[in-house]
Amino acid sequence: GAGVSQSPRYKVAKRGQDVALRCDPISGHVSLFWYQQALGQGPEFLTYFQNEAQLDKSGLPSDRFFAERPEGSVSTLKIQRTQQEDSAVYLCASSPAGTGSREQYFGPGTRLTVT
Amino acid sequence: GESVGLHLPTLSVQEGDNSIINCAYSNSASDYFIWYKQESGKGPQFIIDIRSNMDKRQGQRVTVLLNKTVKHLSLQIAATQPGDSAVYFCAEIPSSGYSTLTFGKGTMLLVSP
């Protein structure tokens, strides 16, 4: 079946612009995770949803970052007033019920470049 | 902590060789350890995991070894193929209920035909 999809795949934003990154998880997956991956680094956790509930947002780097999953499926990561340090690949992952963090399926990511 | 930045540790091997990729982890209380493969332009892909109460687990062409004494994890790939070329990350899951993946530093594996 279809895997996790993300859009857009590439986004160039001017400093100060707002961006919205979309994640379509695997159908039926309860858990959804967002990660930020800087060039040459491992992914770093941003936030976690179980269905529509955002249970952990401890990894969001500032209040300019906001994520939502209103109907428990598609999720959007919004970054307001983008800064150059926001340039990174943003990865989304989903996992079935009962597996928690172990069985995560990752999307291809959105590469954000802030100029 | 130490940052690898753009200079990932790199392992270069010939096709058919066995590869060993190493990882040091920090949390002795972690419950699961996972190896991921990430190809250019793609998200990480699960390879194999191991629970903390085990010291070895085998999959298809891959073996993961866990040494809790020195907090060391390794991934062995048998008969490495050009398609194995990618960045490999280890990740750990702390044991306290729900928890997130914490990724370690990556290693780039380059396989020459």
Answer yes or no: is pLDDT of B46 > 90. Answer: yes
Measuring CA to CA, how many Å separate B83 from each of A56, B16, B64? 36, 12, 19
Q: Do A33 and B93 touch (CB under 8 A)?
A: no
- CB-closest option in B98, B99, B101 to A104: B101
- CB-closest option in B42, B100, B101 to A108: B42
Tokens of B29: 């209380």
- Return the pLDDT at A79: 98
Give B36-102 as a DSSP string. EEE-TTS--EEEEEEETT-SEEE-SSEEEEEETTTTEEEEEESS--GGG-EEEEEEEEESSSS---E
Calpha distance A38→A86 (Å, rounded): 9
- Return the pLDDT at B94: 77
Per the prediction, chain B carries an average pLDDT of: 89
Percent of chain A with pLDDT over 90: 88
B8 to chain A: closest CA residue = A40
Q: Do A45 and B8 touch (CB under 8 A)?
A: no
Is residue A21 less than 8 Å (CB to CB) from chain B?
Answer: no
Answer yes or no: is pLDDT of B5 > 50. Answer: no
Q: Do B99 and A4 touch (CB under 8 A)?
A: no
Contact A66, A78 (CB under 8 A): yes
To the nearest whole Å, the CA of B85 is away from the closest chain A CA by 15
What pLDDT digit, counting tens, does each position of A28-80 carry?
A: 999 999 999 998 899 999 999 999 999 999 999 999 999 999 999 999 999 99
Is residue A103 less than 8 Å (CB to CB) from chain B?
Answer: yes
- Return the pLDDT at A96: 86
- Return the pLDDT at B1: 34
Answer yes or no: is pLDDT of B61 > 50. Answer: yes
Per the prediction, chain A carries an average pLDDT of: 94
Give A16-72 as a DSSP string. T--EEEEEEPPTT--EEEEEEE-TTS--EEEEEEETTEEEE-TT--STTEEEE-TTS
Partners of residue A102 in chain B, C-beta under 8 Å: 32, 34, 49, 93
Collapsed DSSP state (helix, strand, coil) of residue A85: helix
Contact A74, A21 (CB under 8 A): no
Answer yes or no: is pLDDT of B6 > 60. Answer: no
- Return the pLDDT at B7: 67
pLDDT band at A105 (very low <50, low <70, confident <90, very high): very high
Instruction: For residue A40, give every residue at least 6 positions away whose Cβ sits within 8 Å of its Cβ, in sequence order, or none.
Output: B4, B5, B6, B7, B8, B106
Q: In terms of Cα–Cα distance, which of A90, A100, A78, A77 is closest to A31?
A: A100
Answer yes or no: is pLDDT of B62 > 50. Answer: yes
Partners of residue B93 in chain A, C-beta under 8 Å: 100-102
Calpha distance A83→A70 (Å, rounded): 26
